[in-house]
Amino acid sequence: MLHQPRIGASVAATAWVTFAMGLAVYATLLWQYSHANSAIFDEGEHISAGYRYWQCGDYGINPEHPPLVKLWTTIPIRHWQLGNFLTPCGRQLTSNEDLIGDSYRLINSENANSLLWKTRAFALVFPLGLLVTVFLATRMWFGPLAAAIAVVLTVFEPNLTAHGPLITTDMALTATMLLTAAMAWRFLDGPTLARALLLGVALGCAMASKHSAVLLVPIVGLQFVADFVMNSGAGGGRLALRLLGGWIVACFVAAALLWSTYGFRYEALPDAHAQGFDLAGELQAAGMTHSLTGRALLAMVHMRVLPGSYLAGLLYVQAHSTRTAFLLGKELAKGVWYYFPIALSIKLTLPMILLLVVGLLAPWVWKRYPREYLFLAIPVVVFLAAAMAGGINIGVRHILPVIPFLIIFSAAGAAHFWSRSKGIATACLILLVAHALSYSRSYPNEIGYANEAWGGPSHLYRYLGDSNVDWGQSLYAVRDYLQKLGIHDCWIAWFGMRKPAEEGIPCQSLAGPFYLEATDTAMPPPLPVHFQGTVLISVGLLDYSLYPYGKFLHRKPDAVVGGSVLVFHGSFDMPEVAANREAARGWWLLNHNDATGAVAELTAAQKHLHDPTIVDSFLAWAKAVGARPGGSNR
């Protein structure tokens, strides 16, 4: 009888030591990772938007993402004098096209790297906060041994590292969604006003992080109902009313916190005379006026329940809920329901998958923890089902919030069987080591992680695209690769915000995304039809017919850098690449009021573009501008 407490105390102490060591290791890994990866595609937009929020409260920029992450991460640069913005601050709405241009110029400005690392340092609060929540919540649900295992699985989970320190909304929602679940459980264990308020704060932080957090409102309600039913209504109507009241209080607190991130202002722009979002008109243009979602949004607009910019973001997310996707080597016109299960099978480590299968399918674990398992299963099922039913299949990051829950299930199962025998404990320990080793093989290129069953990072581009593989993060790795081999005569087709030349990369630039090149401060130079030597191509340019590099997808590369840049050696005749640059030059000229020059470039581009319809609208625009007196597009 005296021996068991000593064992329990030993496990508890070991768990705390594991947590302390894990926190130190995780902070180090994240810090090094943030400095080893160049600016990803979305970071410039979030930084630009956050900076403008501080400068003049301009919420007319980037409404499709709530302000919390942008405000928090730009605190260290809020007083900087940045002059890369063309739209007057707070006087008119900023289009996505203008925002892309602003962020492109920002990421290529003189202080871009310093700006990036300062903002990323503030972003570390989210992954580190997640680790703290994972440990404390798992300990609360399943005990100290499971908590220690969950710490190891979290620290060496490649997808969490991949998005942890980036200036995006995914990790913030991941951390706050688990925190919301933990606070909801605490309220269920003892429904008090203080715990309802804490739940509301967690829920509000989630809603201010990303629009998909609106799912947490019904998720928490379902958790309350399921827990009440599972306990056969113990406590009767009085408890039911307390649960309902707590849920309502939490929702009101969450709404208040969300309002605070918009300065308690409904209008998106601080200038009362400026024209803001016409949400009713946008609903009609999107054909959503008579849909259930459309009617709900319209009602919230009329009653001003939530800030106008937040509602505009909700509308944007709904109106753009279908996009082309890349899966298993094929471009898809729209998302498919099985995308995320396949993506998880590729992007999770094999030991993690094995532990997850044991944790979810072992009936003994469900029997031991029925209440906890049902409670944790609800957010996973609802969030994953919503993602699978949607049409946006552009990265596992969109279901990143479910991964900590999967980790907790895995840890609970491992902890349950750990004490059965020394053999099982040893097997679990081996799996944890294997998990860390698999992680280390791709570090610090975790965005491009793929497990060994799919060939590892060097083969990932054959199966997945977008932010699963290439988000413009590998520019430093390319620089180091070229320096190591002494390569100076080369060409690069780059998919990313940061221009290779800004990092001292000696390669000549092939055509990249023309919507970026058209926003540059100088007109991009013309390209030859023939080029030879060392050619580097971002895999983000291989996945979609929008770009002219599709033929390289099925050609074996001579090397793969960072899991996201393919290296080829040879001689190439590609008039379509030169045509893509002509399209960018035409758009650039159009932006600079040279309609005649734009028509010439765009007409020449049509002859060899892999998809001539790409420039049809720009050519018509240029001809219309040229027909006006003075030929101005202003």
Give the DSSP letter string of 397-428.
GGGGGGHHHHHHHHHHHHHHHHTT-HHHHHHH
Q: How far apart are CA 364 and CA 475, in angstroms?
A: 48
Question: Tell me, what's the pLDDT at 78?
Answer: 93
Question: Tell me, what's the pLDDT at 183?
Answer: 98
Listed in sequence order, the residues at least 6 apart from 405 whose beta carbon sits closer than 8 Å to its beta carbon are: 178, 181, 376, 379, 380
Question: Tell me, what's the pLDDT at 633?
Answer: 52
Question: Tell me, what's the pLDDT at 1?
Answer: 34
Tokens of 295: 């009617």
The answer to whether 203 touches 254, Cβ cutoff 8 Å, is yes
Tell me the per-residue pLDDT of 138-193, one tens digit each, with 9 for 90 and over.
999 999 999 999 999 999 999 999 999 999 999 999 999 999 999 999 999 999 99
Q: How many CB atoms lie within 10 A of CB 331?
A: 16
Residue 2: pLDDT over 60: no
Shortest CA distance to 240 belongs to which of 250, 251, 255, 226?
A: 226
User: What pLDDT band is residue 359 in, cutting at 50, 70 and 90?
Assistant: very high
Question: Tell me, what's the pLDDT at 559?
Answer: 94
Q: How far apart are CA 498 and CA 501, in angstroms?
A: 9
DSSP secondary structure string for all residues of 214-230 = GGHHHHHHHHHHHHHHH
Q: What does pLDDT average to over the chain? A: 90
The secondary structure of residue 322, as a DSSP letter, is B
Residue 612: pLDDT over 60: yes
Listed in sequence order, the residues at least 6 apart from 258 whose beta carbon sits closer than 8 Å to its beta carbon are: 66, 204, 207, 208, 306, 307, 310
What is the rounded average pLDDT of the residues 264-269?
A: 92
Residue 286: pLDDT over 70: yes
Listed in sequence order, the residues at least 6 apart from 485 whose beta carbon sits closer than 8 Å to its beta carbon are: none
- Coil, strand or helix: which one is 29? helix
Q: How far apart are CA 167 and CA 65, in angstroms?
A: 12
Q: How many CB atoms lie within 10 A of CB 114?
A: 13
Q: How far apart are CA 197 and CA 191, in angstroms?
A: 11
What is the rounded average pLDDT of the residues 260-265?
A: 95
Please give the model's pTM, rounded to 2 decimal places: 0.93
From residue 54, alpha-carbon distances to 70, 82, 84, 257, 466 in Å are 10, 12, 16, 17, 31
Q: Beta strands 565-573 and 559-561: pairing type?
A: antiparallel
Tell me the per-residue pLDDT of 526-535, one tens digit each, with 9 for 90 and over.
999 998 899 9
Q: Please tell me whether the peptide bond between 158 and the residue prior to it is cis, using omega within 30 degrees of 0.
A: no
Q: How many CB atoms lie within 10 A of CB 213?
A: 26
Q: How far apart are CA 401 and CA 392, in angstroms?
A: 16
- Coil, strand or helix: which one is 326? strand
User: What pLDDT band is residue 274 in, cutting at 50, 70 and 90?
Assistant: confident
The answer to whether 67 touches 477, Cβ cutoff 8 Å, is no
- Coil, strand or helix: which one is 254? helix
* Enclosing H/E stretch for 361: helix 350-361
- Coil, strand or helix: which one is 315? helix
Write down the number of H helices and E strands in the chain. Answer: 26, 7
The answer to whether 76 touches 119, Cβ cutoff 8 Å, is yes
Q: How many CB atoms lie within 10 A of CB 263?
A: 13
| Angle of CA points 417, 423, 426, to nearest 5° | 85
Q: How far apart are CA 325 and CA 346, in angstroms?
A: 16
Tell me the per-residue pLDDT of 39-71, one tens digit each, with 9 for 90 and over.
998 999 999 999 999 999 999 999 999 999 999
